[in-house]
Amino acid sequence: MQKSEQVEILQHLIQINSVNGNEAAVADYLQQLFTAHGIPSHQVPYAEGRHNLIAEIGDPNNDRVLVLSGHLDTVATGDLSDWKFDPFAAHIEDNRLHGRGSADMKSGLAAMVITFLTLADAQTPLNGRLRFIGTVGEENGAMGSRMLTEQGLADDISAMVIGEPTGGNIVYAHNGSLNYHVYSKGVGAHSSMPEKGVNAVTNLAKFITAEATAFDDAPVSPELGPLVHSVTVFNGGEQVNSIPAKAELQGNIRPIPEFDNAAVIARLNAVVDQLNQEPQQNLTLHVDYSFKPIISEQTSPLVQLTKKIADAEFGHAINLQVIHGATDASEFTKSSNVFPVIVYGAGDWRDAHALNESVDLDQFIHVQHVYQQLAEQFLA
């Protein structure tokens, strides 16, 4: 497949608006490509307009399974007038393709799909199965990977590559991510008589103060560094001359293996329980979603084989790295089946979710070549 054809596939993907939804349109387009090249695939609906996509090539009787996976959705664009180019035009300038999802992670998706099309067209023999998994909703809850894992799709995986943007470097570990709400219930009253009410905002502010030091005793991960935690959203009150009866906040925490999601949730509950012992305090914790941290050994065959291939493809030693974001791997690895995972893709991590997101097209092509060689050698 010529570079121009590969870039055209990426452009078509960018031109499909799948901001926090509409993944079915992306799944339809990719399924059409698979069908045109004789590759069996099927969609797994999550909700109306939101479909996961599964495809597989290779020896159906072989239990060695390499998975290339990525999410079909993107984050929001923000104010369109702030973009240098229309985020859905897939504009190319100076060998960079601009648009929402170009880095995170439609370049990874395109490179993975092109790998399948190329191997199928060449009828490359594979000693095992190569599986594509395209998921819905990774950017807002990872409901696609969660659902597919619960359905058993990860139970036979031998190794997995997640195509998030890593600049061609190999990410072998990443933090978890845990989002939560805390709700404060008070009693409304006129602001001239605050003693007649219970101020939900003031009570919720006590949680913010306690949260700031709640994790001071958490250990530091030698791989991922310290646990990171922040209160990021606060809402309370309706008008300035009324004591607020309701308030709520949201927080995000990046767990590490040494202080994992269960430990984080237990600590949050302890903070809330302690505060609720005070008079007129009524806080409720709700965990919205919980991604666990992921670490694969740097010496694992998957990491070392990918590095060998990537070093040769890029003409220099690529880096082994960690990131502090989370990926669908956190859900897939909830399967009782244990398998190594790496994050590897085109586009720089700093471009993910960014205004004027873009990807270098040479890097995109190099990463596709790495995917293809990895499939050929891992399933040799």
Looking up residue 342, the CATH number of its domain turns out to be 3.40.630.10
- Same domain, residue pair 99 and 207: no
Q: CA-to-CA distance for 134 and 68, rounded, in angstroms?
A: 9
Question: Which residue range(s) make up the domain with 267?
Answer: 177-291
pLDDT at site 140: 86
178 neighbors 215 (Cβ within 8 angstroms):
no
pLDDT digits (tens, 9 = 90+) for 308-323: 999 999 999 999 999 9
pLDDT digits (tens, 9 = 90+) for 271-311: 999 999 999 999 999 999 899 999 999 999 999 999 999 99
Task: Return the amino acid letter for 159.
Answer: A
pLDDT digits (tens, 9 = 90+) for 51-87: 999 999 999 999 999 999 999 999 999 999 999 999 9
- CATH for 225: 3.30.70.360
- Same domain, residue pair 89 and 203: no
Q: CA-to-CA distance for 326 and 124, rounded, in angstroms?
A: 33
Domain boundary among the residues 270, 291, 312 is at 291
pLDDT digits (tens, 9 = 90+) for 133-180: 999 999 988 999 999 999 999 999 999 999 999 999 999 999 999 999
Of 378, 380, 321, whose CA–CA distance to 345 is shortest? 321
- Same domain, residue pair 185 and 116: no
Q: CA-to-CA distance for 300 and 60, rounded, in angstroms?
A: 25
Backbone φ/ψ region at 101: left (φ over 0), alpha (ψ -120 to 50), beta: left
- Same domain, residue pair 15 and 137: yes
Of 184, 197, 72, 231, whose CA–CA distance to 136 is shortest? 72
- Same domain, residue pair 21 and 122: yes
Q: CA-to-CA distance for 10 and 5, rounded, in angstroms?
A: 9
pLDDT digits (tens, 9 = 90+) for 170-222: 999 999 999 999 999 999 999 999 999 999 999 999 999 999 999 999 999 99
Of 158, 166, 171, 163, whose CA–CA distance to 138 is shortest? 163
- Same domain, residue pair 191 and 167: no
Cis amide linkage into residue 105, ω under 30° from 0: yes
